[in-house]
A and B are shown apart, each in its own frame.
Chain A
Amino acid sequence: MNMQARIRTETTAHIAVADVRLLADPGGVLVHETERLLVVADLHFEKGSAFASRRQLLPPYDTAATLARLTRLIMRHDPKTVIALGDSFHDVRAGERISSADREALKALMQRRQWIWIAGNHDPALPQDIGGEMLETLRVGALTFRHEPQAGAALGEIAGHLHPAARVTSPSGSVRRRCFVGDGTRCVMPAFGAYAGGLNIRDRAFAPLFGDAAPTAHVLGQSRVYAVGWSACGHD
């Protein structure tokens, strides 16, 4: 097997949700290849400037950094439809603070694509003139896209909100990374925003989502997604 082929197989991990095979990109997005659909969660645009307005000065480049990473992934997968799973804007005034350059970059990205903003708790309303379509939930075949995962069984649900991260321990050491977490019936996606934090999947916030069968963490590595068993994921 040559190097090219090896890298190719390594970068294409799949996650099954309600028997639908989705490509999990190590960049932190899911791709439904037959529907040409790309899903991204918790972009949190303008989180840096939200903190700055409360006098916590973070470098205000998070929107640009998040958009640059998202642009690369959209170029790679060339989706017809993009679904942003809510908390895309850190607060309802983010639209007033976003720089004109970032606004233009976002507009360019949205051009010639269907763009769906799922409403989140941070962004119940969209910034003015941002474009795209806003929905509470979206169904595509067996899948349901919503921001906040519902407690109890939810077959086919793909959600964000919780910002899952895993603390993975092996004989060589321990690493904490963002991850997808799913049990085959549903999946919670990692937060994408540059300043979005991560909540350990051992946190009790995840307990109501998964029944007796332990979920699998699909951990974001540098160039591939690693499927890691529940027992290898520890507390912080």
Chain B
Amino acid sequence: MLRRHQPDHILLRAAREDALTGLLDLSRLAGMLSRIQGRIVHKRLDHVSPLAVPVMLEIGREPIYGEAQEQVLKEAADDLIREAMS
């Protein structure tokens, strides 16, 4: 609601700042990317590397809003239809 009616509201600015520094430190990420520029080795592994394990465990844990929620409703509605037909 604020985004539509008052996009420069102080709460929205604060939320953006928090997201930039709290969730992902963009300036540190930018620093690292420029540090390693030209020295990146890309290699396809046939198994999960030890350092990748924490990342693999996170997959599927972050909720994605939108289509996925509609899917939940659709499945529950299909269940009711199946029940009515049987």
Contact = CB atoms under 8 A, between A and B. Distances in A.
Given A172-B68, A194-B1, A221-B70, A226 B77 contact: yes
A170 B76 contact: yes
Nearest to B67: A222
A219 interface: yes
Given A59-B2, A62-B1, A194-B1, A221 B73 contact: yes
B58 interface: no
Contacts of B70: 221-222
B5 A64 contact: yes
Interface stretch (A32-40, A102-110, A173-181): A173-181
Interface of A: 59, 61-62, 64-65, 168-175, 177, 194, 216, 219, 221-222, 226-229, 232
Contacts of A232: 76, 79-80
B53 to A, nearest CB: 24
B6 interface: yes
Contact of B72 (A65, A175, A194, A216): A175
A219 B1 CA distance: 23
Interface string B1-40: 1101110010000000000000000000000000000000
B72 A174 contact: yes
A169 B69 CA distance: 10
Contacts of A59: 1-2, 5-6, 9
The 6 closest A-B pairs by CB, nearest first: A170-B75, A226-B77, A229-B80, A232-B76, A226-B73, A61-B5
B46 interface: no
B76 to A, nearest CB: 4
Contact of A172 (B2, B66, B71): B71
A169 B76 contact: yes
A197 to B, nearest CB: 15
B83 interface: yes
Interface string B40-82: 0000000000000000000000010010111111111101110
A178 B44 CA distance: 47
A229 B79 contact: yes
B1 A226 contact: no
Contacts of A169: 72, 76
Q: Which of B2, B4, B73 has the most CB of A within 10 A?
A: B73
Contacts of B63: 173
